[in-house]
Structure 1
Amino acid sequence: MNKFLILVVLSLTGVFQIRAQEPVKQDSTAKGKITMRGLFQARYLFSGNKNIDLNGLHHLDGKAVYNDFDIKRARLQFTSKISDRTDVVLLLNLADFKTDPKNKVLENAYITYRLDNFINLKMGQFRPAFGLEDMYPVDVIKSMDYSNQYTAFGNNGWQSFQIGASIYGATHGEIPVKYELSVINGNNRNQLMDNDNGKHFSTRVELGLQKSLKIKLGLNGGLATVLGSNVYAAGVDLSGVVPLGKKWSLEIETEFKQGNNHTFYYGLDSAKRVGGVDNYQMHGLYFLPNLRYAINYHRLSSLEFSCRYENFNNDFKHAANNPRQTWTPMVSAEFLKAYSARIQFGVNIDRYKRNIPGTIQYNNEMFIVQVQSRL
């Protein structure tokens, strides 16, 4: 794994030796402009096991709430262009008010400064680039939601909304390269302050290997100090689009990640820990093919058929580990353009190595019907 991190650093060093050829265009007319965008997602959920609630928890008494209407996201995003080089972005999820809004609601809150195409600066609360799923918003995802590994690595401070700063940019040579270097607190969003003096240092380098098929290779690596312990995370991802005809195309993405699960380690009673934080590691792999048929008939733009497979283990070094396999077949209808309106139907099928009654580690099928609109 150390060799992998060295490879990422060397790749990034090579990127810094190449300057972008295209200058940043000046746009004085855009100064002071404020734009607003939004996203609404509502869904109906039904658990295939009436003893398992919608959070996946198995109830021994059989008193589980196994179906529900829910507002998943009600987002508003404000972007202010205060100069031709500087933007300020705010993203709120008003659906978080349905529960305790502490450490919620505010998702993005950051400022960016563009020096040129190669060097951009960002500071505030944002999603640091540490994987393929960080490269697009959830409203254009090819499955029902982000993967299990995205959630786990987010809980450990590598992904999802974090507070910190980053430098990022791109080159446009024969092999296009995108990069991002981030330093963040690593204790998730909307915290009063960091919980220790350690920081998460991470990097992502994305290489455009093939233009016509849009094949991209991503390398991710990070090191951090958490409560006095040194931890790491690393991953690799690959994506591309295969045209199958005039209206058919197959989009494929796959990703593997591995790293310390320090959140799990420090959440255990000290008497129950077996070894140090180095012995508590997680890894995950997912594969997501998405078959798209472009209809473009009246307001119906396309139909999509996908099925993500994921294998995730949150503690693979101990004998008591209980790996989780998840299949998520989904059918989606896109209306208008760019997912301005969308209807999705999918099933989240979880299978564990062994069922543990009274916990979330229990086999289940969760049926989901979701509607969304981008404003």
Structure 2
Amino acid sequence: MQRPTIDRSKPVCVTGASGYIASWIVRYLLEQGLTVHATVRDADKASSVDHLLKAAKAAPGQLKLFSADLIDEGAFDAAVRGCELVIHTASPFIIKGFKDPYEALVRPAVEGTRNVLESCNRAGSVRRVVLTSSVASIYGDAVEALTKKGQVFTESDWNTSSSEDHQPYSYSKVMAERKAWEINKAQSNWDLVTINPSLVVGPSLTKNTQSTSIDVMRDLGSGRQRTGVPHLEFGLVDVREVAAAHILAGFNPDAQGRFILSGPVVSLLQMANILRGRFPQYPLPTKELPKWLVRWVAPIAAGVSRAFIDRNVGYSFSFDTSRSQSILGVQYRLLTETLCEHFDQMIEDGLLRRR
């Protein structure tokens, strides 16, 4: 397939536009003077769209809102019509509290991806789709790094260990991405690029954000973990870099395949130490707990399975992000800046008690 050059005078469709990453994507596109077809579950719900309308007022671009539900067949047809570039970020986000992981996570993620891409097929105008995936599609558990050269994950890796019973959220991400590649290969009108970020951190454009990083930061700063944290490592990446990468991938004809987006991999204790330098008044943890203790306590205290503890606590790894830098031109900002801005906003938004 010939690599497309996207016409910037045509609208760009962004699905799940009210989300953490997507809100920044919409804002950046509007600032570049583009027309954005933004899909949300309910375009009349003020709490979902006010921050998008605010971004549109301050920018030269034009915003058009569309109501679309992930699992409603044909719901994205109107938003995609006339677009050459579609950025699909919409995906179910539930980490716990569900009884049926397939119905809560896997089915809406896979069917939602299929629905959006079938709308792209019907539109006839679409030339490129950029899909928000995750490093959860790259690997399932940190222990898998032991089988990699230098314990480094690359875009050629696929998560084969997650399932509906073990890490169902990760399983939903890998199944949705695999479905996207399957649909892409069955047609020749549009090409597919995936963005695979690690744990996304940094300031949000709305107080209604759902993200794992908020839960992680709240647990660190609230005092809940003051007695200590497990040796659990995360790749961290600023939400603004992730948003910019989607746009760079959309308009760069040379972008193809998958792109890991990640800054440094750090432990929970390293995150706490960074935050303590700026927020010494908060009860941040100062030590790591032994794995045997975490394994004993975590299933009761945090609802985390022993299988997760066994396969993730105490292991180190890293990501090869060279493609994101050399092809997309992503420049990663300092982690200290990202973490402290995020923590500061959580205080301002009342997610952490001011001290």
TM-score of the superposed pair, with normalisation by structure 1? 0.32
Rg larger for: 1
Return the structure number with greater strand share: 1
Return the structure number with greater helix share: 2
Q: Larger relative CO (CA 8 A, sep 6+): 1 or 2?
A: 2
TM-score of the superposed pair, with normalisation by structure 2? 0.33
